Amino acid sequence: MRISEIGEFGLIERLVRPPKRESLIVGIGDDAAVMGMTGNAVLTTDMLVEGDHFRTEWSTPRQIGRKAMASNVSDIAAMGGTPEFAFISIALREGIEVEFMDDLYAGMHDVADEYGIDIAGGDTTHGSVMVINIVIVGSIETPVLRSGASPGELICVTGPLGGSKAGLELLLAGKDGPTGAVAKHLDPGCRMDISSDIAAVANSMIDVSDGLASEVNHICDMSSVGAEVIAEWIPLSASTREAGEVLDQDPVGWALNGGEDFELVFTIHPDRLKEVEDRCTVVGRTLPSDEGRTLVVDGNRLPLTGGYDHFNE
Amino acid sequence: MRISEIGEFGLIERLVRPPKRESLIVGIGDDAAVMGMTGNAVLTTDMLVEGDHFRTEWSTPRQIGRKAMASNVSDIAAMGGTPEFAFISIALREGIEVEFMDDLYAGMHDVADEYGIDIAGGDTTHGSVMVINIVIVGSIETPVLRSGASPGELICVTGPLGGSKAGLELLLAGKDGPTGAVAKHLDPGCRMDISSDIAAVANSMIDVSDGLASEVNHICDMSSVGAEVIAEWIPLSASTREAGEVLDQDPVGWALNGGEDFELVFTIHPDRLKEVEDRCTVVGRTLPSDEGRTLVVDGNRLPLTGGYDHFNE
């Protein structure tokens, strides 16, 4: 069905569901939302542009919705916060039909429901390309910052890396490969499930949106520490290794520079590792700032560079 | 200068200014922002797409920035809230240079500074078209809702209407006309300056983003009231009237169906009008729901229809 058949307000009415949180004082339908907040609020916002961040020929609308919501929840997880409200702005282009929007919202609701998030507002408009901007607001007690690391901590990750980039490379090459890798790109999820446990013991934290090398460098920049990452210690899934063989590429490179895995990277005092060691893998350690940032590969010491820059050419 | 010369992080560093509000606990530079909030938070989000919502051949970057920020502040004003923090997500296309971004942000800072708003975060990415999404978060005590009207109240507006549409029509026609009308389209401002005074006495309120007819209908829908608007009472500026003559169009139609004037429409008990009568014009009154919604033109009673629908064909 064409969206013009039901109109902007008909579409919003169709997609909106009644909120569950009593703290949502004013939801969809007024000039702005009003939320009862006690204490500190945490807020993240991410913009996804068709062609750059998702492709309707690769992803189902439901996958697009799930990934869009999960990538934002991941930012809240990376601070140690609890997501409560989401605001969805969408620019629709010609050819997007009502059923596409139903499925897109079903995907966003999948993730919202999993973490108790109410969709509390947003903006629906028109554009020459489809754009999705999601804002998530939540509560937070003590944020875990990128700036909290000191020398002598362990650098840990909450799961295998490089899988999203492996899936992207398979899709770009039009090659058959392990379906797990493609699934990890199209529907990466996030680690809200364990983030509060990690936040309770971590000194610094960030999520993997641009690749491990970039995220460790952010922690180093903000915490004024050095770091040593051991390439052999970086966890890779079987499907990521297999994709590396299919494409004759190094999956460790994907882990370091791929991004969109949405696992958490954190630093922790060695004495506290035992509290979360069943939920993470140690990949290195922090050092004094003047010792720099190093990637150790087969005993060779290389500079820890990389990370995706949206404007790099 | 090309953005690739300084990179994504260089660009962000160049555009960011130090925050002024102590309640901003974590600002730009981490996975999410953290704000100290006491009581209720008000939040609005708006997406602007190049071509649909602004054109770089008509507007300077600074005008685009001013209008984008003002249209969001207007939503906070329409609730009776106080804006505190803004979050700016931008998708940049090829050809946007660093100087464009400097001026765009200068425009957003113009309006942010006027109302004491800190730019506290956002997202910078790439797209095939330029998109700006602004989120504003603020504080609010008692929100003034669209649903608060009762029959027997006066319907008021805070200033002349139709000016933005007059300017748009002049631009579309490529005709010379009064510069005031074009300026009103490119740099409409908002009524944050008087919104708290109005909020103290209004029973319902909304800002004019889609035209007076649409906004009064929203109040009627949400408040379950009828309404009578007197066309002759709608305030029009001299430049809007003059644009009507240049284009041989009815400026009252622009006021009713034009939009983007960002004045406030509110309803008020007649006894309280004297408290704000120097800052508004009465354009009609609310009625019992079963009396419907009427536009009175030269003594003729017409249905009060209209309003811009982004998906109407």
Distance separating alpha carbons of residues B84 and B81, to the nearest angstrom: 10
Mean pLDDT, rounded, for B33-61: 93
Place of tokens 């809200």: A192
**Nearest residue in chain B measured CA to CA from A204:** B30
A216 and A276 assigned to the same domain: yes
User: B213-251 pLDDT, tens per residue?
Assistant: 999 999 999 999 999 999 999 999 999 999 999 999 999
β pairing state of A82-92 and A118-126: parallel
B74 and B152 assigned to the same domain: no
pLDDT for the residue numbered A7: 86
Percent of chain B with pLDDT strictly greater than 90: 82
pLDDT for the residue numbered A307: 44
Distance separating alpha carbons of residues B263 and B8, to the nearest angstrom: 36
First to last CA, chain A: 41
pLDDT for the residue numbered B176: 82
A165 and A111 assigned to the same domain: no
- Is B310 within the bounds of a domain? no
pLDDT for the residue numbered A176: 82
* pTM, entire model: 0.93
Binary contact (B222, A90; C-beta < 8 A): no
User: B244-297 pLDDT, tens per residue?
Assistant: 999 999 999 999 999 899 999 999 999 999 999 999 999 999 999 999 999 999
- Is A311 within the bounds of a domain? no
Number of domains into which chain A is organized: 2
User: B160-174 pLDDT, tens per residue?
Assistant: 999 999 999 999 999
Pick from A154-163, B112-121, B299-308: least confident: B299-308
Q: Is B232 exposed, middle or buried (0-12, 13-18, 19+ CB in 10 A)?
A: exposed
Nearest Cα of chain A lies from the Cα of B177 at a distance, in angstroms, of 29
A287 and A165 assigned to the same domain: yes
B165 and B186 assigned to the same domain: yes
- Is B308 within the bounds of a domain? no
Q: Where residue A123 sits, what CATH number does that domain have?
A: 3.30.1330.10
Q: Where residue B162 sits, what CATH number does that domain have?
A: 3.90.650.10
Nearest Cα of chain B lies from the Cα of A78 at a distance, in angstroms, of 6
pLDDT for the residue numbered A312: 42
Nearest Cα of chain B lies from the Cα of A2 at a distance, in angstroms, of 10
A54 and A117 assigned to the same domain: yes
pLDDT for the residue numbered B274: 97
Distance separating alpha carbons of residues A102 and A97, to the nearest angstrom: 9
Binary contact (B9, A309; C-beta < 8 A): yes
Residue type, A205: M
Task: Residue A19: list chain B partners with CB under 8 A.
Answer: none
- Is A186 within the bounds of a domain? yes
Selected residue of B97, B142, B310 to mutate for chain A interface (largest A Cβ count, 10 A): B310
Measured CA to CA in angstroms, residue A57 lies from A64, A111, A131 at distances of: 11, 22, 16
Q: Tell me the torsion sign for CA atoms A98, A103, A107, A113.
A: positive
Q: Tell me the torsion sign for CA atoms B44, B3, A188, A158.
A: negative
CB B43 within 8 A of CB A33: yes
**Of B140, B155, B183, which one is at a domain's C-terminal end?**
B140
A157 and A296 assigned to the same domain: yes
Residue B47 pLDDT exceeds 80? yes
User: What is the arrangement of strands in the sheet containing B226-230, beginning at the earlier edge strand?
Assistant: B204-207, B264-268, B154-157, B281-287, B226-230, B293-297, B300-303
Q: Is A216 exposed, middle or buried (0-12, 13-18, 19+ CB in 10 A)?
A: buried
Instruction: Walk along chain A (313 residues) in steps of 10 and give the mean pLDDT of each run.
Output: 87 89 93 93 95 91 96 97 97 92 97 96 90 97 97 98 95 88 92 97 97 97 97 96 94 94 98 97 98 94 70 41
**Domain around A157:** 146-303
Task: Residue A80: list chain B partners with CB under 8 A.
Answer: none
**Of A140, A172, A190, which one is at a domain's C-terminal end?**
A140
- Is A119 within the bounds of a domain? yes
Nearest Cα of chain A lies from the Cα of B217 at a distance, in angstroms, of 13
Distance separating alpha carbons of residues A158 and A262, to the nearest angstrom: 9
Mean pLDDT, rounded, for B46-56: 92
Selected residue of A35, A38, A82, A133 to mutate for chain B interface (largest B Cβ count, 10 A): A133
pLDDT for the residue numbered B313: 35
> Per the structure block, which two tokens stand in for B271?
């006894």
Selected residue of A311, A312, A313 to mutate for chain B interface (largest B Cβ count, 10 A): A311
The radius of gyration of chain A from alpha carbons, rounded to an integer in Å, stands at: 20
A209 and A70 assigned to the same domain: no
Task: Residue A8: list chain B partners with CB under 8 A.
Answer: 309-312
Size of interface A-B (CB pairs under 8 A): 247
A19 and A134 assigned to the same domain: yes
pLDDT for the residue numbered B163: 95
**Of B140, B156, B186, which one is at a domain's C-terminal end?**
B140
Binary contact (A79, B26; C-beta < 8 A): yes
B178 and B126 assigned to the same domain: no
User: B192-213 pLDDT, tens per residue?
Assistant: 999 999 999 999 999 999 999 9
- Phi first, then psi, for residue A37 (nearest 5°) are -120, 135
